[in-house]
């Protein structure tokens, strides 16, 4: 490999710009049969709360044209199990460990962040954008001052770089991005899912038990590219781009739009080996086009 795929996000060195989107990859365990986790730039875990969360009723998932809706409701086993089981598993791999944290109140975000501070975790991603839980999640993600408040509170208790994960379900992504940057965020990641709905015309009822769910997959990619472009022009901190990335070409689009790194989400369901293919394809593109480093294409359009 003559191309330099490495980069730094908030001071943390990644071997390449590819991670996975929270919630689509567990803590990596379920994908270890398909992907050598050592080859990923980072693994981003499913959201972790201070206590176990049961999530929503089923049906939780539905396919849509070039996309899917989910309303899992942030089911997770809680921080204790995460530390004892998931983190111990991830420590076996040479990859950046990003833990996505969730809370129903600022105190809960702070509690999880504190418990992760003296661990091997490399970065925190704060989820203020889940559309599927009533309290927490999106409640902090649609109001710039609430988003800033969570950012400040988490930054105060952690030494780890903090990535704020933003929702696309806002009027101005630039305003949200600036709000969390000013509050001390080290990076931002976007987009989380777009709120959607699917109705079963034969049952004449909502498909999802939660009625609404988060839309992901290639269907949302143009929206995501536009928002990554807008956000990266609004702030100085790095942007991790995601939303419908299913190929190397998709990932390159995000990098050109201004993302310093990318996350692959729903595409892992279509092809559990897709992350490795995307890393290879980015490398090949750079080589073919005479770029020495992946850093040379970030935000150049």
Partner 1 sequence: MIYREKVSVIGNIQLTDDIFDLNVKTKDIAKAVIPGQFINLYSSDESRLLPRPISVCEATGDTVRLVYRVVGEGTKEFSTLKSGDEIFVTGPVGNGYDVAFINDNFKSAVLFGGGAGIPPMIELAKRLTIETNVFLGYRDVLFLNEDFPESATVHIATEDGSCGTKGNVMDALAQSKITPEIICACGPMPMLRAIKKYAQENNIKAYFSLEERMACGVGACLGCVCKTVKTDEHSKVENARVCVDGPVFDAEEVKI
Chain contacts with partner 1 (rule: CB under 8 A): 23-26, 30-31, 33-34, 46, 52-55, 58-63, 65-68, 70, 72, 75, 77-78, 81, 217-218, 246, 266-273
What sign does the CA torsion over 67, 198, 76, 166 have? positive
Report the distance separating Cα 45 and Cα 250, nearest Å.
Answer: 22
| Cα torsion through 175, 178, 183, 185, rounded to 10 | 120
Q: Residue 232 or 268: which CB sits closer to partner 1? A: 268
Q: Residue 48 or 279: which CB sits closer to partner 1? A: 48
Min dist CB 68 to partner 1, Å, is 6
Which of the residues 123, 130, 188, 257 is marked catalytic? 130
Report the distance separating Cα 197 and Cα 125, nearest Å.
Answer: 27
Min dist CB 125 to partner 1, Å, is 17
The answer to whether 220 and 243 are in contact (CB under 8 A) is yes
Min dist CB 130 to partner 1, Å, is 13
Report the distance separating Cα 235 and Cα 254, nearest Å.
Answer: 16
- For 16, half-sphere exposure in the C-beta direction (CA atoms, 13 angstrom radius) is 26
Q: Residue 31 or 229: which CB sits closer to partner 1? A: 31
Strand-pair partners of 189? 165, 240
Q: Residue 10 or 223: which CB sits closer to partner 1? A: 223
Place of tokens 């009723």: 57
Instruction: Judge whether 130 counts as a catalytic residue.
Output: yes
Residues tagged active-site? 130
């Amino acid at each position: 490999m003559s191309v330099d795929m490495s980069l730094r996000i908030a001071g943390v060195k990644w071997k390449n710009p590819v991670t996975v989107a929270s919630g689509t990859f567990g803590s990596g365990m379920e994908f270890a049969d398909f992907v050598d986790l050592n080859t990923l730039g980072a693994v981003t875990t499913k959201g972790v709360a201070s206590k176990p969360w049961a999530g929503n009723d089923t049906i939780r998932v539905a396919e849509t044209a070039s996309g899917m809706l989910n309303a899992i409701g942030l089911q997770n086993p809680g921080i204790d199990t995460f530390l004892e089981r998931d983190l111990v598993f991830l420590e076996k791999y040479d990859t950046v460990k990003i833990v996505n944290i969730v809370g129903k109140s600022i105190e809960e975000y702070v509690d999880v962040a504190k418990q992760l501070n003296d661990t091997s975790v490399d970065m925190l991603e704060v989820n203020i954008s889940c559309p599927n839980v009533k309290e927490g999640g999106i409640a902090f993600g649609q109001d710039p001052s609430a988003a800033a408040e969570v950012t400040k509170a988490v930054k105060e208790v952690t030494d780890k770089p903090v990535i704020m994960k933003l929702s696309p379900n806002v009027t101005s992504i630039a305003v949200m991005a600036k709000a969390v940057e000013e509050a001390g965020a080290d990076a931002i990641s976007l987009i989380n899912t777009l709120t959607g709905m699917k109705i079963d015309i034969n049952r004449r009822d909502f498909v999802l038990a939660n009625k609404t769910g988060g839309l992901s997959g290639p269907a949302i990619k143009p929206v995501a590219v536009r928002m990554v472009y807008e956000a990266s022009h609004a702030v100085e901190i790095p942007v991790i781009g995601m939303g419908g990335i299913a190929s190397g070409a998709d990932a390159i689009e995000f990098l050109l739009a201004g993302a310093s790194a990318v996350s692959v989400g729903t595409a892992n369901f279509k092809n559990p080996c897709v992350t490795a293919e995307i890393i290879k394809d980015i490398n090949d593109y750079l080589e073919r086009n005479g770029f020495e480093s992946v850093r040379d294409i970030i935000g150049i359009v």
